[in-house]
Amino acid sequence: MKFKNIFLVALLVVILWACNSDDNGVTIEPPKALSETVDQDKDSIVEYLETHFYNYEEFQSPPADFDYKIVLGKIEGDNADKTPLIDMMETETVTVRSEEIGLSSGKEVEHTYYYLVARQGLGVKSTSVDSVYVRYEGLLLDDTVFGASSASPTWFDAAGLKAPGSLSFGSLQKSARGFSEIMQYLKAGGDPVVNADGTFEIVDYGVGLIIFPSALGYYSGNGPNGNIPSYSPMIFKIDLMAVNEADHDNDGVPTHLEDLNGNGYLFDDNTDLKSENSSTSIATVPDYLDTDDDNDGILTRDEISDEDGNIILPYPDTDGDGVPNYLDPNN
């Protein structure tokens, strides 16, 4: 319960801060409706996909010195006969709730993103909610690069990047949700290769590209560096070097298994939502951050462990109703 309390205090601080910031004399325009931006974004993304290609020939028949970097180009001139991205990318649809972008209208709007696996990778498969070690480059649809990792990869919390709200969710910084979605289609690199000088490198890592609408990005916001125009669809090139399975609340249930409805989104899985809503608290805690998922007063970890602290698999279900004890307040 201690973790939950800390989390609630953090959220309260954020909300108070948010209220204050409305008070500085600047008129804050309400964000546009999702139904307005979704079609605009789709049109501009499709136009991009019809007029651009990537260096698929190099990925198909890699030259000896190929660096496995995705290069995007326009279909014109010498490249007029290239196959456009629209014929090479896969699509997936996710639901965006208006609350996630700071609107309280209770709308849910389907959004489509486009992705491409240029190289699968030879290591472990990722999910879109684990800890990922990546290199990236982010672009706008006018091909401007707005940000990139250095040559060295960076660890990201793919789950936290999907946090809703225009500010943040608890201590989680709101980021581009679409950035995390590509991870589930890629695998990490193989075992690191140790060089003669003792340094090591990761080879055979996954390489992917994702293009998504602004509601999966910063929407009406401008990104962490303030250099992204409002309502920008975004493009990310991703090298997935390594993956660590996450258990954010350390309750013994891996984070990807706390996505109970299996939609890759963790903020709509909250087993004890009813009791959290009926408490005096203003905040709710999704399962992946909740150490007592069913709020029966027994920690999740204690409900899935034996006397020696080992996790019991499958998770115990004493009354055999198909709901494991840690999600069953009656058990």
Q: Kindly list the residues in this chain that would bind Ca ion in the complex (CB under 5 A).
A: 249, 251, 259, 261, 263, 265, 268-270, 272, 285, 287, 290, 292-294, 296, 298
Least distance CB 255 / Ca ion (angstroms) = 8
Cβ proximity to Ca ion: between 137 and 292 the closer is: 292
Cβ proximity to Ca ion: between 156 and 265 the closer is: 265
Least distance CB 300 / Ca ion (angstroms) = 5
Q: How many helices (H) and strands (E) does the chain have?
A: 6, 13
Least distance CB 315 / Ca ion (angstroms) = 11
Least distance CB 221 / Ca ion (angstroms) = 23
Cβ proximity to Ca ion: between 137 and 259 the closer is: 259
Cβ proximity to Ca ion: between 130 and 251 the closer is: 251
CA neighbor of 38 nearest in space, from 46, 30, 50: 46
Cβ proximity to Ca ion: between 206 and 324 the closer is: 324
What Å distances lie between residue 184 and 31, 34, 114, 124, 147, CA to CA?
Answer: 30, 25, 13, 11, 22
Which residue do the tokens 């910063």 mark? 218
Question: What is the Cα–Cα distance from 21 to 16, expressed in whole angstroms?
Answer: 9
Phi, psi of 40 (to 5 degrees): -60, -50
Least distance CB 280 / Ca ion (angstroms) = 15
What Å distances lie between residue 11 and 16, 18, 21, 284, 305, CA to CA?
Answer: 9, 10, 15, 10, 30
